[in-house]
Structure 1
Amino acid sequence: MKNILLLGLLSLFFFSCEKEHKITHVERAFYYWKSNNWSMAQAEDSVLTKHNIKKLYVKFFEVDHSDAMGNFPISKTELYFYKQDSMNIVPTVYIKNSVFIKTTKGSLDTLADNVNFLIDKYSKEKFRNQSMPIEYQMDCDWTLKSKDNYFYFLKKLKEISKKQISCTLRLYPYKYPDKMGIPPVDKVMLMCYNLLNPLQNHSKNSILDLNELESYLNVDTNYPKHLDVALPIYSWMQVYQNEQFSNVIYTNNQKAKTILKEIKPLWYSVTKDTVINETYLRIDDKVKFEEIDAQKIKQTIQLLKKYINFDNNTTVSLFHLDEQQLSNYSHEELSSFYSDFSK
């Protein structure tokens, strides 16, 4: 009898260890990462309405650095917003890591002031019939060398802007917070994609590899900041001409595959000369086609629920809102990417 009782308690223990961490309330969001667009495509706007999306992380601009020009903004979005006040727009700025490598506290003070000024300026220009944003998000792949300067900048931006400040969090600093530091922000967005170097891992999907993802999520302690989550719904073609990497193309998967012949997993050969998104493809050019189907995203959600103890109210954001990429999923699949977190 004692042995049976012991086995029962052990079974209960292991069952509880495998219990999934659900999210009580999922705030549905998208990233919008395009430049030079005056308005959203009809399909993009339809997705926001159909899936009751109330939050958009919009890349306002990027910050680059050169010795000649110092820090300067690039890739400013031209999108104008005519949504109602119910849509929460989060201005997002991508800052290259090089900005924080060789700098001074004075330059970082100036950078924080300039970023705040530009976000405020563009917000007043772009938000028609909308309230001003309450949150800014910074996106930077910080390293050990840039960590201290980046964290100083984040503190300064918070002080100047008086806004909520969030930042993106890659999986490496998520797994090694003692080494990579904890960013001084109100919350972080865990980016569950771009796990591998696409030019060095020819046999794996660099956007999202489940084994790689699980190796980063399997940690002993909870991350000491509120965690939101971003999932990839994009695919890309890495084009190789004369055995050399040429460029990346984002396009409609099904249309692209009509001129491709599979030669091995992930790899295709071009079967006829054609032009896709201003890129000329020749017969026998090689293409590494990395795509993310609905099943892989659902498996990703299960891993996240297994390893992360989410707060009751958590934002789940899909990257990103793009007409061609959205065509790869049904409305039911897109909805499940949010609802599966609560099941």
Structure 2
Amino acid sequence: MKKIFLFLVVLNLVWSCENKVEKVDHAFYYWKSDGYSFLQSENDAVKKVGLEKLYVKYFEVDHSAEMGNFPVSKTNISVYPYSDSDKILSEVVPTVYIKNIVFKKSSEKDLDKLADDVNFLINKYSLEKFDSVKTSEIQIDCDWTASTKDKYFYFLKKLKPISQKEISCTLRLYPYKYPDKMGVPPVDKVMLMCYNLINPLENDNKNSILDINELKSYLNTDKKYPLHLDVALPLYSWMQVYQNNQFTGVLYNSNEVKPLLKQIKPLWFEVQKDTVINYETYLRKGDKIKCEEITASKIDEAIKLIKTKVKLDKEINVALFHLDENQFKNYTNEEIKHFYSDFTQ
């Protein structure tokens, strides 16, 4: 019995050494579609945390019976020219969110055209907005299902030779845990999305952005995923607004709202007086607000769990979602640095 126990201890130590992360590239997602100049707003902040890679949502792809597949929500981000000594970004990764309906409604011929169109637009935006920054990878974001995986995977295979770039895609936790059912995408690597674990409108007593017990249930698998895994974690918090018990929208800047609220149960608050937020959202006394906040301690807890449960390579990207000056204010620079360095500890 003692020999068996000793063997298991040694085996665990060997496994730990083999799966220890040695290098982490510091990355962020940028997911806005409105007008924005990266260097004007977050220049100083990203310098302090050592940002190396930015995953930028270039556009989304939607589908309608009248128009077929078409791009929407195009980004207006711009990076102004700078000298090499002032360079703060090593790489931009063009990221495209494609709605699952696209693969439900498209034929292989449609997807051949889609791959050409996506590649054309990515090259166009890269030249216009990031001409001086390396763009050697394309990332596709899609909530594919078992019924659409074949067409989605077909599209990914087509995009690779057309773009002549490294192709990655996002990986939600369900397909991570059940690759036999959901398939393994034909890409060079995947980004494990460790947030948005629960439908925000279906569970009123859990934090839908990041619930540690929910995360643990998906990571509780002994199988090593057959592709290189990078990791994405959330920085953002939000408030869900309910008027007459009906969901009406989301607020991201909570500092203006919090003084008006009274807590009525865990996660839930009630508006105490009428007010207007951002000149567009009218809150009435009695409205209910579900506050889903992400703190540094919650992210630290998630990182500890990921390191224990997920078999990672020695070099990985860790991407924080997302680059926004209002969300930055909720963390110190040291806390953000630790979200990267903790993976190597």
Matched, 1:254 2:252: no
% identity of equivalent residues: 60
Q: Say if 1:166 and 1:187, in contact at 8 Å, map to a contact too.
A: yes
Instruction: Provide the C-alpha distance between the structure 2 equivalents of 1:95 and 1:78, rounded to a whole number of angstroms.
Output: 18
Question: Given the two structures, how large is their TM-score scaled by the length of structure 1?
Answer: 0.94
Deviations 1:12-57 (A, max 9, x none): 3596499585310000000000112231375522221111111000
Question: Given the two structures, how large is their TM-score scaled by the length of structure 2?
Answer: 0.93
Q: Say if 1:123 and 1:132, in contact at 8 Å, map to a contact too.
A: no
Q: Say if 2:92 and 2:133, in contact at 8 Å, map to a contact too.
A: no
Change in 2 beyond 3 A, CA 1:15/1:241: same
Range with greater deviation from structure 2 (140-149 or 12-21)? 12-21
- Give the equivalent residue in structure 1 for 2:175: 173
Q: Where does 1:226-305 land on structure 2 (aligned, <5 Å)? A: 226-251=228-253, 253-277=254-278, 278-305=280-307
Instruction: Provide the C-alpha distance between the structure 2 equivalents of 1:167 and 1:137, rounded to a whole number of angstroms.
Output: 5
How far apart are residue 119 of structure 1 and its match? 0.5
Deviations 1:37-94 (A, max 9, x none): 2313755222211111110000000001111111111111111113648520000000
Change in 2 beyond 3 A, CA 1:243/1:85: closer
- Give the equivalent residue in structure 2 for 1:111: 114
- Give the equivalent residue in structure 2 for 1:25: 23
Number of residues of Structure 1 aligned to a counterpart in Structure 2: 338
CA RMSD of superposed structures (Å):
1.9
Q: Say if 2:90 and 2:134, in contact at 8 Å, map to a contact too.
A: no
Matched, 1:73 2:71: yes
Instruction: Provide the C-alpha distance between the structure 2 equivalents of 1:261 and 1:156, rounded to a whole number of angstroms.
Output: 53
Instruction: Provide the C-alpha distance between the structure 2 equivalents of 1:171 and 1:309, rounded to a whole number of angstroms.
Output: 14
Q: Say if 1:124 and 1:132, in contact at 8 Å, map to a contact too.
A: no
Instruction: Provide the C-alpha distance between the structure 1 equivalents of 2:105 and 2:301, rounded to a whole number of angstroms.
Output: 41
What stretches of structure 1 move > 3 A for 4+ residues in a row?
5-8, 13-22, 83-86
Secondary structure of 1:144's partner?
coil
Secondary structure of 1:79's partner?
strand
Unaligned runs of 5+ in 2: none
- Give the equivalent residue in structure 1 for 2:62: 64
Secondary structure of 1:197's partner?
coil
- Give the equivalent residue in structure 1 for 2:100: 97
Change in 2 beyond 3 A, CA 1:301/1:153: same
- Give the equivalent residue in structure 2 for 1:315: 317
How far apart are residue 135 of structure 1 and its match? 0.5
How far apart are residue 330 of structure 1 and its match? 1.2
Secondary structure of 1:213's partner?
helix
How far apart are residue 121 of structure 1 and its match? 0.6
Q: Say if 2:235 and 2:320, in contact at 8 Å, map to a contact too.
A: yes
Instruction: Provide the C-alpha distance between the structure 1 equivalents of 2:134 and 2:290, rounded to a whole number of angstroms.
Output: 42
Which letter does structure 1 place at the counterpart of 2:217?
S
How far apart are residue 207 of structure 1 and its match? 0.6
Q: Say if 1:188 and 1:227, in contact at 8 Å, map to a contact too.
A: yes
How far apart are residue 8 of structure 1 and its match? 6.2
Deviations 1:232-287 (A, max 9, x none): 00011110001111111111x33321111111000000112222232111111000
Unaligned runs of 5+ in 1: none
- Give the equivalent residue in structure 2 for 1:124: 127
Deviations 1:186-234 (A, max 9, x none): 0000000010011110000011111110111111210000000000000
